[in-house]
Amino acid sequence: MWHGSRLKRWLAFSLFVLAATAGLIEVLLQAGAYAVYIANRKDIASTQSQIRTMLCVGDSWTHGMGASDAAQHSYPAVLQQLLRERTKQEWSVVNGGQSGQNSRDVLLRLTSQIDAAKPQIVCVLVGRNDQWSTPDEAPNADIEDRFTAYRFRWRLPRLFAWTIDSFRAVSDFGPSAKSGPEWAAKQIPWPPPPPDAVYPVAISSGAIAAKTAGWKLEAEGLSEEALDQFRAAFAEAPEDPQTRGMLARLTQKCGLTDESQTHTAWLVERCSQTQDFYHGVALLDFYSFSGRAQEQLDQACMLLERFPADPTLWYQRGEAEYRLGMKEDAAKSLIKCTETWHNVYAYSILFKIALFDRRDHAEAVNTIVRAYVATNQHEATASMLNTMLELPTVDGAWVSDQSDAFACDPSTKARIRTLVNEALSRRDGSSAERILRSHLKRIADIARSKGAVPVFLDYPIQAPLQHCLHDVASDHAIHFLDVKTWWEGRVPESRRLGLRSADGHVNDEGYRIMAECVADGLVPILQTLK
């Protein structure tokens, strides 16, 4: 009894200390936020008399987090001096950025900031925080959060989320979370030919070497170089069905229609004469590549009469049936294929049939997990997961539970759980992306309505959702400065890590380079102003 009372007192005291500590941290954060608010308000107000003013709005990358002194070394501070030097005009660049802001924050404060600064240009750099802070879309009616009023909100939860996001940002420079050997895709061997299938011609070592080189080049996307190799193989072995099949494909791919038809006609004639497995498979591959589904199906069915156990033929038949809209027949054929050959493309088609045709979500998840257990191909698995989770009717938690219930070894299950969590995070990001795009357009609309020219910037390093800045700018005729590309052009890869600050931003030198990139893009725009 005594020990139980003592434990209760200790737990109560621990909870009190934890709550007090959290409360103290929250008070300090509120005090810091209020100090930043006061400093930013004075900066805006002090520029009202300037003739030419530029307002920079955004998050910590605009405010200058990571710099030794944001007032002197943030990109807006450096940009002001650069613009004065390059334009010979008295530009005042106002730093309206604030650490932790997302696009909603920028949108709600923008009208007040523009009214105070009266800028000719509004530079916008925001979106880095939208994914972790997941803002709601700002109301359409009367967007007006006066800059003269301090905005209270709880800071400690935001600090926690920001800290996690910062670790993710820094980890971008480290090894990939999926770089270990356990993530390597399984080497799925090509099924052996049927026992009674004999290769119809003898092939010289030179022709074999040329074919091997050609397949490798084609896999790398070098079709013209691959065509040269197969032409060399053809010169040594003109009767080789594999060489003929690849020549039919590659010449069609390179726009040499007459030559492709010549090789195709040769294969068709040989198949009709011999019904040989190798000639038939070469012709099937060409039909599959060309999208000639009915001919592909006819050829596959003919060969399966002679070689009914070959999984490659069942895959060809299933693919053709799927393309022709024969979804249930396709499912049966592809299941026959995967019984002995774990072809990831067969699993992918089975997944689509389950999800879109049968609308059986449990079967779809089961197919995804079976495919990963069989192949360990995380990219294909992630693609299927993303496709499924894009559907508004699919519950993410249910998908996670269903995949976790699949019986497999603990290591594989852990990797599947990682892939599911990433897909769920990506889906959450799609909602954040939609809201970010809406906010960015409205930010530009407000700037224009106030007589200012909006200019969107890119982050100098990779950041979540940053493509939205470019996309919205392109869609709505907004000036866009590709800071990331210019920054990387100025900074060799070996130096980039040295320009990062401890909190994941850049240091004084990094902001200086960033400001130079912005100045390079802005000067031509400024020359168009009256």
Q: Specify the higher pLDDT residue, 324 or 174.
A: 324
503: which 2 tokens?
A: 């909190």
As a three-state string, the secondary structure of 449-513 is HCCCEEEEECCCCCCCCCHHHHHHHHHCCCEEECHHHHHHHHCCHHHHHHHECCCCCECHHHHHH
Q: Specify the higher pLDDT residue, 446 or 49.
A: 446
CA angle 413, 416, 419 (to 5 degrees): 155
CB 493 within 8 A of CB 462: no
Q: Quick one: which of 290, 292, 227 has its CA closest to 254?
A: 227
* Residue range 1-24: mean pLDDT, rounded: 72
How is 233-273 classified by DSSP, letter by letter?
HHHH-TT-HHHHHHHHHHHHHTT-HHHHHHHHHHHHHHHHH
Query: Beta-strand (E) ranges in 105-255?
Result: 121-125
- Which residues have C-beta within 8 Å of that of residue 196, sequence separation ≥ 6? 307
What single-letter DSSP state applies at residue 136?
P
Phi, psi of 456, rounded to the nearest 5 degrees: -95, 140
Q: Is the pLDDT of residue 261 over 80?
A: yes
What's the pLDDT score for residue 17?
A: 74
Q: Is 177 helix (H, G, I), strand (E, B) or coil?
A: coil
CB 513 within 8 A of CB 78: no
CB 420 within 8 A of CB 399: yes
Q: Among the residues of 46-155, which ranges form H helices?
A: 60-63, 70-73, 75-87, 103-117, 130-133
Sheet strands side by side (includes 479-481): 91-95, 52-58, 121-125, 453-457, 479-481
* Residue range 518-527: mean pLDDT, rounded: 93
The string of pLDDT tens digits covering residues 179-204 is: 678 899 999 999 999 998 999 999 99
Distance CA 129, CA 137 (A): 14
CATH of 2-175+454-526 given 3.40.50.2020, 2.40.170.20, 3.40.50.1110, 1.10.760.10: 3.40.50.1110
Phi, psi of 121, rounded to the nearest 5 degrees: -130, 140
Binned at pLDDT 50, 70 and 90, residue 153 comes out as low
As a three-state string, the secondary structure of 81-96 is HHHHHHHCCCEEEEEC
What is the residue type of 45?
A
Q: Quick one: which of 126, 127, 128, 64 has its CA closest to 94?
A: 64
Q: Is 53 helix (H, G, I), strand (E, B) or coil?
A: strand
Other beta carbons within 10 Å of 224: 10
Residue pointed to by tokens 């003919």: 302
Binned at pLDDT 50, 70 and 90, residue 472 comes out as very high
Average pLDDT value over all residues in the chain: 86
* Residue range 224-250: mean pLDDT, rounded: 95
Distance CA 83, CA 89 (A): 8
- Beta-carbon-side half-sphere exposure of residue 195 (alpha carbons within 13 Å): 1
Q: Quick one: which of 114, 54, 48 has its CA closest to 78?
A: 54
CB 57 within 8 A of CB 122: yes
Q: Is the pLDDT of residue 248 over 90?
A: yes
Residue pointed to by tokens 């909100």: 153
CATH of domain 189-290: 1.25.40.10
Residue pointed to by tokens 């380079």: 513
CB 95 within 8 A of CB 77: yes
What's the pLDDT score for residue 43?
A: 46
What's the pLDDT score for residue 530?
A: 62
Distance CA 193, CA 277 (A): 8
CB 473 within 8 A of CB 479: yes
The string of pLDDT tens digits covering residues 389-444 is: 878 788 888 999 999 999 999 999 999 999 998 888 777 767 788 889 999 999 99
Domain boundaries, the chain: 2-175+454-526, 189-290
Q: Is the pLDDT of residue 152 over 60?
A: no
18: which 2 tokens?
A: 């934890």
The string of pLDDT tens digits covering residues 326-342 is: 999 999 999 999 999 99
Distance CA 64, CA 72 (A): 9
* Residue range 140-145: mean pLDDT, rounded: 50
189-290 shares the fold of 2-175+454-526:
no
Q: Specify the higher pLDDT residue, 35 or 309.
A: 309
